[in-house]
């Protein structure tokens, strides 16, 4: 697949998924650090680990991977709504 994207699902922590969501929203590492109240270096390390785990080479490929595997939702693309519990009468 183009961009070296992984063909198999990978295990990501909640924090890694949170960071992927913020990358997909277009935030820089510095902006992510501020939003999550962590250092930019920590964000850099998370991004590096995520790229390795997902087999992606850059942020664009990472977002493509995340869309492919249903890890992010962008402008109602790749989004699904959870079934609502039926109301009892």
Write down the pLDDT at residue 23.
Answer: 96
Q: Where does the pLDDT of residue 8 fall: very low under 50, low under 70, confident under 90, or very high at 90 and above? A: low
Collect all residues with Cβ–Cβ distance below 8 Å to 66 and sequence separation of at least 6: 20, 24, 54, 72
Domain presence at residue 86: no
Q: Which of these, 72, 62, 43, 54, lies nearest to 12 by C-alpha position?
A: 54
Q: Which of these, 9, 15, 7, lies nearest to 49 by C-alpha position?
A: 15
Collect all residues with Cβ–Cβ distance below 8 Å to 51 and sequence separation of at least 6: 57, 58, 62
How does pLDDT run across 23-66, given as a tens digit for each residue?
A: 999 999 999 999 999 999 999 999 999 999 999 999 999 999 99
Collect all residues with Cβ–Cβ distance below 8 Å to 87 and sequence separation of at least 6: none
Number of domains in the chain: 1
User: Percent of the chain scored above 70 by pLDDT?
Assistant: 73
Domain presence at residue 54: yes
The CATH number for 33's domain is 1.10.10.10
């Amino acid at each position: 697949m183009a961009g070296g994207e992984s063909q198999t699902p990978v295990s990501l922590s909640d924090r890694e998924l949170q960071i992927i969501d913020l990358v997909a929203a277009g935030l820089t590492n510095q902006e992510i650090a501020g939003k999550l109240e962590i250092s930019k270096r920590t964000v850099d390390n998370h991004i590096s680990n995520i790229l390795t785990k997902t087999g992606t080479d850059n942020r664009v490929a990472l977002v493509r991977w995340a869309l492919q595997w249903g890890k992010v939702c962008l402008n109602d693309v790749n989004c699904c709504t959870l079934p609502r519990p039926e109301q009892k009468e």
